[in-house]
């Protein structure tokens, strides 16, 4: 009998490592970086070409009960292009493929594409192609992201060095709490003929979930200051998971200090309202699309005056731990294979 291994036994990152183990060596001389980072890197002569892809499935990554199609279109662009940003690159083009069932009208798809257009205009990205096909399972969206980076400014996950400072670009956990607010209201108003939820006071966490920012501003600011991080990753799976990924790639550890990690007041308030832990949202929530990067210790003063960046810890030889205000150490752990919206 053929052995059966459940995907959950490996977890998301273990599965990726197993499936791509035989692809570590590239066959073409222009392939600089293959699988294992935020984006592939192709030598395009004067600069590097960056390529990445993302998949979004209805019922897994989004629920159209409360996710407006225009916001969804905007978010898929940001989510896909965040991988380009994480390589210290500039997004340039995207290709979009959709699978769509008969329940969607032309007007529905026009609304989706209006959000895609808005993101492309804001971040100066060109939609250059894609594919459209019929589906029996609602809506699925595939995005191929293209970007570029100067060869001397490429940043990978694998460059963190002993004693480097660990930095993040904004507060974490807000998107996750925004999702849970929407889920609560969906359940509470299920079957109501005229649902009219009151979201006043929760605008920030809803925006973080429905319309996240692409941190191109940080990439431009780093370049203006002449700073090239030693490593970088975008925070999409939660701080814990992404810190572990960076550590694995760099062969290092990190000490992150809980009291230094920003959590917005709106996030804490929503967590209190839902009897949830804002620290769990920060560590494992995901969908923040912020950047975590490392810089040499001697850049401390420069980073502290950089603006919009928090230093939350430092690189160690091994182990990924969260240090509590009392001095306790909690090992960082990654969540399972995928988070389905519930």
Say what angle helices 174-188 and 203-210 make with each other, to 10 degrees: 100
The answer to whether domain 7-153 has CATH 3.30.390.50 is no
254 token code pair: 């990190």
Q: Tell me, yes or no, if the two domains 7-153 and 157-193+200-331 fold the same way.
A: no
pTM equals 0.91
Q: Output the six-digit token pair for 163.
A: 């004693």
Beginning with the edge strand found earlier in the chain, give each strand of the sheet holding 90-100 in spatial order: 31-33, 40-43, 47-57, 139-150, 90-100, 126-134
Which residue ranges make up each domain of the chain? 7-153, 157-193+200-331
> Per-residue confidence of the chain (342 residues) as pLDDT tens digits?
578 888 777 776 677 677 777 776 777 777 677 666 678 999 999 999 999 999 999 999 999 999 999 999 999 999 999 999 999 999 999 999 999 999 999 999 999 999 999 999 999 999 999 999 999 889 999 999 999 999 999 999 999 999 999 999 999 999 999 999 999 988 887 767 777 777 888 999 999 999 999 999 999 999 999 999 999 999 999 999 999 999 999 999 999 999 999 999 999 999 999 999 999 999 999 999 999 999 999 999 999 888 889 999 999 999 999 999 999 999 999 764 444 343
Closest CA to 212 of 173, 175, 263: 175
Correct CATH for 157-193+200-331 of 3.40.470.10, 3.40.50.2000, 3.30.465.10, 3.90.650.10:
3.90.650.10
Distance CA 81, CA 62 (A): 18
């Amino acid at each position: 009998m053929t052995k059966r291994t459940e995907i959950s036994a490996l977890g998301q990152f273990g599965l990726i490592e197993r499936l791509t183990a035989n692809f570590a060596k590239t066959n073409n001389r222009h392939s600089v970086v293959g699988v294992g980072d935020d984006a592939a890197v192709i030598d395009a002569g004067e600069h590097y070409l960056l390529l990445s892809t993302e998949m979004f499935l209805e019922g897994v990554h989004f629920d159209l009960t409360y996710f407006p199609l225009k916001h969804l279109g905007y978010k898929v662009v940001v989510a896909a292009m965040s991988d380009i940003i994480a390589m210290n690159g500039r997004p340039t083009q995207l290709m979009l493929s959709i699978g769509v069932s008969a329940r969607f009208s032309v007007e529905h798809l026009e609304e989706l594409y209006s959000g895609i257009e808005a993101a492309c205009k804001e971040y100066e990205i060109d939609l250059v192609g894609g594919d459209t096909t019929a589906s029996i399972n609602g809506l699925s969206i595939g995005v191929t992201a293209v970007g570029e980076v100067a060869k001397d400014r490429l940043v990978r996950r694998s460059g963190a060095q002993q004693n480097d400072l660990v930095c993040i670009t904004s507060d974490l956990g807000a998107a996750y709490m925004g999702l849970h607010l929407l889920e609560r209201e969906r359940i509470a108003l299920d079957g109501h003929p005229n649902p009219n939820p009151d979201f006043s006071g929760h605008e920030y966490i809803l925006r973080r979930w429905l319309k996240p920012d692409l941190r191109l501003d940080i990439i431009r600011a780093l370049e203006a200051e002449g700073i090239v991080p030693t490593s970088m990753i975008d925070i999409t799976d939660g701080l814990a998971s992404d810190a572990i990924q960076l550590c694995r790639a760099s062969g290092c550890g990190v000490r992150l200090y809980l009291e230094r990690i920003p959590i917005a007041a709106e996030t804490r308030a929503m967590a209190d309202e839902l009897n949830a832990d804002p620290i769990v949202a920060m560590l494992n929530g995901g969908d923040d699309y912020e950047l975590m990067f490392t810089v040499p210790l001697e850049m401390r003063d420069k980073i502290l005056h950089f603006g919009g960046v928090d230093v939350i810890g430092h690189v160690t030889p091994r182990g990924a731990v969260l240090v509590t205000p009392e001095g306790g150490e909690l090992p960082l752990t990654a969540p399972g294979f995928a988070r389905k919206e519930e």
